[in-house]
Structure formats: structure tokens, C-alpha cells
Amino acid sequence: MHPGSIAAIVLGSLMPVVAFLGFYITKKLIEKQLRQNPPISESQIRAMYMSMGRKPSEAQIRSTMSAMKNAKKGNQYTKRK
């Protein structure tokens, strides 16, 4: 056997293991981040407004949701319409 063919066999047998480990580790990291920072929903925003004694309109809820999405992206300053 040539050294190149041995290396190809070894690399070919290790690739699925490395791919599986990468998938598993990435999945666990994403699950951990979602547990620590769960996404906020419209019902949670509605409850926040109600706890402050306000009845929010749908426009206010959509505005708050878009502000949250922009804040997550790092766009702190957006133009007002």
C-alpha cells in the first residue's frame, strides 16, 4: 500500500466522526444560549404593557418587536418615520 492511500483511508474513516462531533457540540451550544436568552414573544410584550397599566395597540406591539429585533442585530439607532 502507498502512504497516500493509507492517509486517505484514515481521513475517510475519521471524517464522519468529526462531522458528528461538530454537529453535536454546535447543537448543545445553541440549546444553552436559548435557555439563557429565550426569545421574547408578542404575548410577553403585551403582558409587559399591561403590567405598566397600559392597553397596547397592535402598532405598539409591532413597533416594540421591531425595536427588539434591531437591538439584537446591533442597530441601536434607527430612523423614525
How many domains is the chain partitioned into structurally? Answer: 2
Residues 6+ positions from 70 with CB-CB distance below 8 Å: 76, 78
Looking at residue 31, its pLDDT comes to: 93
pLDDT for 5-28, tens place per residue? Answer: 988 898 899 999 999 999 999 999
| Residue 74 reports pLDDT greater than 80 | no
- Are residues 3 and 30 both part of a single domain? yes
Q: Which domain holds residue 23?
A: 1-38
Do 56 and 33 share a structural domain?
Answer: no
In a shared domain, residues 3 and 21: yes
Same domain membership, residue 28 and residue 50: no
Q: How far is CA 4 from CA 1, 8, 9, 15, 68, in A?
A: 8, 6, 9, 16, 54
Please state the pTM of the whole predicted model.
0.51
Same domain, yes or no: 28 and 44? no
Residues 64-76 have a mean pLDDT of: 78
Asked whether residue 63 is assigned to any structural domain, the reply reads: yes
Q: Are residues 7 and 26 in the same domain?
A: yes
